[in-house]
């Protein structure tokens, strides 16, 4: 399966500044996913390139992917603005549902962005921090997917447990035995998140 080579560089303008992105356009788009990483920013995602793998796997079914690299990594407000800029671009280009996926710090970013944007239809937060997720309950009735390793050495699984306790329905929390980067549960993550995205975006 092709991974990062399927994506192409793209630049968005957000608040008058350039935001670096990677874009994978589906030939006949039906839905879209926007992916963001942790506090260090950048591309490709946890578990050795999760975003590349799932983006490539979903594209033949009509799902366009956009990976967003923050202009100011680690700063919650500006990072949310970057995601909302990506959401605006996808809404203009792709019909149908739109999901946000974020890892670690990025989990809080996508939760905040979903609260702010009615265009977001589903949210996935992986190994998420709890700070910045205070309004997660406002996402409901849109679905939220949470996954956190029980052996996370950076952010305890209690962070996602807390988010889950405050989120409205529908919600899902998976806790495999893996560390913060999710490498140890790569196959399970690909399978579970991929199936969830297909269900929410394509009804599959």
Please state the three-class secondary structure of 164-181 as a single string.
HHHCCCCEEEECCCCCCC
pTM of the shown model:
0.97
Cβ 75 vs Cβ 87: under 8 Å? no
Rounded average pLDDT per 10-residue block, the chain, 204 residues: 71 96 96 98 97 97 98 97 98 96 98 98 98 98 98 98 98 97 97 98 90
For residues 203 and 194, give the distance between their C-alpha atoms in angstroms, rounded to a whole number: 12
Residue 39 backbone dihedrals phi, psi, to 5 degrees: -65, -20
Cis peptide before 170 (omega within 30 of 0): yes
Write the CB contacts of 8 (distance below 8 Å, at least 6 apart in sequence): 22, 23, 24
Rounded to 5°, angle at Cα 186 from 196 and 173: 45
Name residue, tokens 């549960």.
185
Position 5 scores a pLDDT of 64
Q: If 0-12 CB within 10 Å is exposed, 13-18 middle and 19+ buried, where does residue 153 land?
A: exposed
Position 6 scores a pLDDT of 87
Cβ 145 vs Cβ 118: under 8 Å? no
Position 2 scores a pLDDT of 39
Query: For residue 79, is it left (φ>0), alpha (ψ between -120 and 50) or beta?
Result: alpha
Cβ 155 vs Cβ 129: under 8 Å? yes
**H runs (alpha helix) in the chain:** 46-58, 76-93, 105-116, 158-166, 186-202
3-state secondary structure of 127: coil
Position 18 scores a pLDDT of 97
């Amino acid at each position: 399966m092709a991974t990062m080579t399927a994506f192409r560089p793209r630049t968005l303008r957000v608040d008058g500044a350039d935001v670096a992105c990677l874009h994978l356009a589906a030939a006949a788009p039906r839905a879209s996913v926007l992916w963001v990483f942790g506090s260090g920013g950048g591309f490709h995602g946890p578990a050795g390139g999760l975003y590349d793998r799932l983006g490539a796997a979903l594209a033949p079914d009509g799902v366009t992917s956009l990976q967003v690299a923050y202009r100011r990594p680690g700063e919650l407000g500006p990072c949310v603005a970057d995601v909302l800029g990506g959401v605006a671009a996808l809404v203009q280009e792709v019909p149908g549902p739109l999901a946000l996926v974020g890892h670690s710090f990025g989990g809080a970013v996508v939760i905040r962005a979903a609260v702010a944007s009615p265009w977001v239809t589903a949210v996935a937060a992986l190994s998420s921090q709890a700070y910045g997720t205070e309004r997660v309950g406002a996402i409901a009735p849109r679905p939220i997917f949470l996954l956190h390793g029980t052996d996370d050495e950076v952010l305890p699984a209690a962070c996602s447990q807390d988010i889950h306790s405050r989120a409205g329905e529908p919600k899902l929390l998976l806790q495999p035995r893996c560390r913060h980067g999710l490498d140890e549960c790569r196959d399970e993550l690909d399978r579970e998140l991929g199936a969830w995205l297909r269900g929410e975006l394509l009804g599959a």
